[in-house]
């Protein structure tokens, strides 16, 4: 058999495989018959379902569809049935009333890299292991005494941000707000976890680390055929799980080195090397065999907090500063409050946060307009259920469309406007009890990182505006600032905000 014949035969076999996979995909993706009526939704096309109706910004396209089909809507992505919840009433049904039925997670194929889903608090099914890991987060890593005890090291990172803003002010440098927020968030997280910063404001030192996070965000935000057609999962046809494994490997390797160094210090000088950070607490907790916490568990818990907290907090900071710069009257109110409470010269402290209601309103309004996870982390129903008279079958993926809820004009007057004042006379908070504002989710799956995010976000936004005025980069007017969002693991600004700080 010559080379040309061999190539033809290989092409034939490839064609047979593709046709077979498509046929099987069609078989599994075909609409199924259910004993009761599903929630209403747009017609799903053969094989692909409603995938092509998502577009580049699914938060907007799905919200538009929900206006036609209602607050409980069904969509089909390949063979995956998805139900979208788009009102506070329906969110309360799913996240509170029937939380026990809807508490499992849909685990995207990429997040199975390094078996992260078998350890991560975000993805573990509710059960004894999940409760144990959740307890570690709440009582060991993110308890109030633990966070109070580490506020001094976070203050040093806030001082580094202030110093960088001051230097840019003196030189008239145009700075990337999102990048500065990212670096500060990474360092606030890392000093809280293991008492050391990992990046600085030098561009070259930061590039590699930022590339890892941007790649993770990109991979997480891409539609994955393996999720929509489970038949394709073993093949990883888009290579997304492979890419996630590569980046997870980089971060886990870094944590491995930090943990090994800490253990060496502890063996060299027991007691004297104690830093009283999260890593010390986790290592001490893991020594008790009854807690069943391995070194691999420790690394993945650190990965959970590092990945989930850093990108989302820095993105929210950039959105908050953007909105304030676009609304000088709101910026003036926030600055005046800071000057009254904090004074003209000293830095913002974590202990100042309860005395800054307008800054808190700015944060809440930013979460409302720009929720970092527009659909939260998708859930998966583990048994048939009925909600609002509609049948939801076992295995269905659940989106809670907080982006739509946060912009619903029935709930929020003038919903597209940035108006922090709406929260000054309201008790609505973002900690999971108020279903009109759900940036962190609700119920037993509410994000455990709220206490740390709360501290970091207020400190960063306060530092950006307290002693600085701002002007946009040359040639850009307020009207020209792009506020388009980019869909991904976190909802970033598509075009980074660049501006020049002016010391006041």
- Residue ranges of the annotated binding site for heme are 447
Which structure tokens are listed for 491? 């909802």
Give how far the C-alpha of residue 372 lies from the chain's centroid of Cα atoms, to the nearest Å.
6
Which structure tokens are listed for 300? 């993945």
Would you tell me how many other CB atoms lie within 10 Å of the CB of residue 388? 15
Dihedral in degrees, nearest 10, Cα atoms 225, 230, 234, 235: -30
Gap between the Cα atoms of 187 and 179, Å rounded:
12
Which structure tokens are listed for 63? 């919200």
98 φ/ψ angles, rounded to the nearest 5 degrees? -115, 35
Q: 433: helix, coil or strand? A: coil
What are the residue ranges of helices labelled H in 434-488?
450-466
> Annotated binding site: which residue ranges?
447
DSSP labels, 371-415:
-SSTT-SPEE-SS-EEETTEEE-TT-EEEE-HHHHTT-TTTSSST
Gap between the Cα atoms of 83 and 76, Å rounded:
9
Gap between the Cα atoms of 343 and 362, Å rounded:
19
């Amino acid at each position: 058999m010559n080379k040309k014949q061999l190539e033809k035969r290989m092409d034939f076999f490839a064609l047979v495989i593709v046709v077979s996979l498509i046929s099987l995909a069609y078989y599994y993706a075909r609409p199924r018959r259910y004993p009761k009526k599903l929630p209403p939704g747009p017609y799903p096309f053969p094989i692909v379902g409603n995938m092509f109706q998502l577009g580049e910004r699914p938060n907007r396209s799905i919200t538009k569809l929900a206006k036609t089909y209602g607050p409980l809507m069904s969509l089909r992505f390949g063979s995956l049935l998805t139900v979208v919840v788009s009102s506070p009433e329906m969110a309360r049904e799913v996240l509170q009333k029937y939380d026990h039925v809807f508490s499992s997670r849909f685990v995207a194929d990429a997040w199975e890299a390094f078996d992260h889903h078998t350890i991560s608090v975000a993805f573990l099914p509710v059960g004894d292991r999940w409760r144990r890991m959740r307890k570690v987060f709440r009582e060991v890593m993110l308890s109030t005494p633990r966070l109070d005890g580490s506020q001094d090291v976070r203050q040093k990172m806030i001082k580094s941000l202030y110093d960088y803003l001051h230097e840019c002010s003196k030189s008239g440098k145009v700075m990337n707000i999102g990048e500065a927020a990212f670096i500060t968030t990474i360092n606030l997280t890392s000093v809280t976890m293991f008492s050391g910063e990992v990046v600085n404001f030098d561009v070259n030192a930061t590039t590699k680390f930022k590339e890892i996070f941007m790649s993770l965000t990109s991979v997480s935000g891409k539609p994955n055929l393996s999720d929509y057609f489970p038949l394709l999962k073993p093949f990883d046809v888009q290579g997304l799980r492979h890419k996630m494994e590569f980046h997870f490997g980089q971060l886990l390797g870094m944590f491995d080195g930090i943990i090994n160094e800490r253990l060496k210090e502890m063996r060299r000088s027991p007691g004297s090397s104690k830093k009283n950070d999260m890593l010390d607490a986790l290592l001490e907790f893991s020594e008790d065999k009854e807690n069943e916490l391995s070194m691999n568990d420790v690394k993945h818990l650190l990965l959970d907090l590092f990945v989930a907290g850093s990108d989302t907090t820095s993105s929210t900071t950039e959105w908050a500063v953007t909105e304030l710069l676009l609304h000088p009257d709101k910026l003036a109110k926030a600055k005046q409050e800071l000057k009254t409470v904090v004074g003209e010269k000293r830095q913002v402290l974590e202990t100042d946060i309860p005395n800054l209601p307008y800054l808190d309103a700015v944060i809440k309004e930013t979460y409302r307009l720009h929720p970092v996870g527009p659909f939260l982390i998708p859930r998966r129903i583990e048994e048939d259920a009925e909600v609002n008279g509609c049948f939801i079958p076992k295995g269905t993926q659940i989106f809670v469309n907080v982006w739509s809820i946060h912009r619903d004009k029935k709930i929020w007057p003038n919903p597209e406007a940035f108006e922090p004042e709406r929260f000054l006379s309201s008790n609505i908070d973002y900690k999971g009890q108020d279903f009109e504002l759900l940036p962190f989710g609700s119920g037993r799956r509410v994000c455990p990182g709220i206490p740390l995010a709360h501290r970091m976000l207020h400190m960063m936004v306060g530092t950006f505006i307290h002693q600085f005025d701002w002007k946009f980069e040359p040639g850009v007017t307020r009207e020209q600032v792009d506020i388009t969002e980019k869909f991904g693991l976190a909802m970033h600004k598509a075009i980074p905000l660049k501006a020049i700080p002016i010391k006041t």
